[in-house]
Amino acid sequence: MDRIVGSRSSASTARASQALSPSQEGVSLILLLLGADILAVTLGFVLAYVVRFSTGWGIFAEDAIPALDLYRNLALWMLPCWLAIFALFRLYDLQNTLRGTQEYASVVNASTMGMMVVVFTSFVEPGIVVARGWLLLAWLFVIVFDILARFAVRRVIGLMRARGHFVHPTVIVGAGPEGMAIAEQLACAPASGLALIGFLDDGLPPRADVVSGLRVLGPIDALPDLVASGRVSEVILVPDAIPRDRLVSIFETYGTSPHISMRLASGLYEIMTTGMRVREFGNVPLLSLDRVRLTGMSAILKTALDYALALTGLLVLSPLLLLVALIIKLDSPGPVIYRRRVVGLGGRSFDAFKFRTMVTDADAVLTHDAELMRQFEGQFKLKDDPRVTRFGRILRRTSLDELPQLFNVLRGEMGLVGPRMITQEELARYGKWGTNLLTVKPGITGLWQVSGRCDLSYDERVSLDMYYIRNYSIWLDLQLLFRTIPAVVRGHGAY
């Protein structure tokens, strides 16, 4: 054990000390999910009965018999059946729980299967006559309540993990660029359940600081001692830092161990922000990446939010849009709308619409001033830009110049929330992160908008864009939309 340095950060130490064993966490989480499911299914059945037989809504047939004993007995029989179906759909498999939309899709499929069992039972048993309205309502209510219940469980577990509970002490084998990038990402995501305690690396001395307050605990050969001591339950292997023969040896030793989980980094962390799938070709497992960051239910929810709010915004703000257009025409000669050619999803270029805020010969003004050109090439923004018109400064200060991009949202080219839109020339400045930017639609607002806007350095803007892409959720979008309003009112960094 003398090869292992006990030099974890205080936060990691506290979190790791409160960690449950994998078996304890598994039992606790399954019991929590079972309790949530029992409550949701029971409430769904009861509310369906109340709505169907007690509301008197004309959409239901009047000849249905509200046999309370029948529906009570049916609910008592169906509850364990429903839970068994949930188990068949792996909703109590710890590898599939707390995964957001994937888990919710399984709830819908499992609930549909459960209702099919009820329908089949009513066909084979003539004594069971169930109202179709109750069937439909029970199916709908159970889905809604169970998704809400599992969402609540997910939030509770996330809060507990952020406070050091339900976490797994984790070591990263390899302190190179990818290992550091993974550590930085996990440090920003305490709800992940992985409490990093440090690195193992042959190229750095013990106690060497690496990133996020984490240090090197020892060489890679110290892994057996670290595992035997029980100090870790998760190991993340970074392939570019470990020779292939040693990597294979580690997996042969611990790959099937029930006491430790082995995770293999992709080796392409910088560009892998999309989903990854494993497919076999001729019994050879190969990795493939989704072309876009958002798929399935996440993509549907984001699209629905974008279209609903963009259409509502255009309808409500149409008088303001007309007034701004009129003032622009009166303030300076030139078109009302400026079309900026930018890069969108998949690298496809499109014209982003903005109210014109500059004089029509803006490029010529920039070309004839070497100092302005130097500043612009460094930040792609100018604080005191002589090309901006009088009314254009007001539009930029209030962000009203961005409103025409609501049409880009309706055209499917932009989202309400996303990374900054950039030109093809500017894309080169993102370097290895540029591929990430092409997996999502640019947004009218985003983290950069609520975090200082143009007062941020260029590297800070890039970092915020990458954080959004890697950590997207519909809840993050809603949070940023609400934060955009006070950010626009304050006007910090808007020029």
Amino acid identity of residue 247, one-letter, is L
Tell me what pLDDT residue 263 has: 87
Tell me what pLDDT residue 463 has: 78
Query: Cα–Cα distance between 406 and 236 in angstroms, integer?
Result: 43
What one-character-per-residue DSSP string does 53-118 give? HHS--TTS-TT----HHHHHHHHHHHHHHHHHHHHHTTTT-TTTTT-THHHHHHHHHHHHHHHHHH
**Comma-separated ranges of CATH 3.40.50.720 domains in the chain:** 167-269
Q: Are 444 and 484 in contact (CB under 8 A)?
A: no
Strand 337-343 and strand 284-289: the pairing is: unpaired
Q: What is the DSSP letter of 179?
A: H
Q: What share of the chain is helix, strand, coil (3-state, %, to 5)?
A: 55, 15, 30
- What is the value of pTM for the model shown? 0.64
pLDDT along the chain (495 residues), means of 10: 48 45 71 92 90 66 64 85 90 75 84 86 72 84 92 86 82 88 82 87 85 87 86 88 86 81 76 68 74 75 91 93 92 89 89 88 63 60 70 86 94 92 82 78 86 67 81 82 77 51
Tell me what pLDDT residue 224 has: 87
The full 3-state SS of 311-330, as one line of letters, equals HHHHHHHHHHHHHHHHHHHH
CATH number of 167-269, picked from 3.40.50.720, 3.40.190.10, 3.20.20.70, 3.30.230.70: 3.40.50.720
Tell me what pLDDT residue 61 has: 54
Q: Are 85 and 110 in contact (CB under 8 A)?
A: yes
| Residue among 248, 224, 226, 225 at smallest CA distance from 237 | 248
Kindly state the helix (H) or strand (E) to which residue 250 belongs, with its residue range: helix 244-254
Tokens of 442: 């640019």
Tell me what pLDDT residue 7 has: 45
Q: Which residues on neighbouring strands pair with residue 170, listed in sequence order? A: 196, 234
Tell me what pLDDT residue 407 has: 95
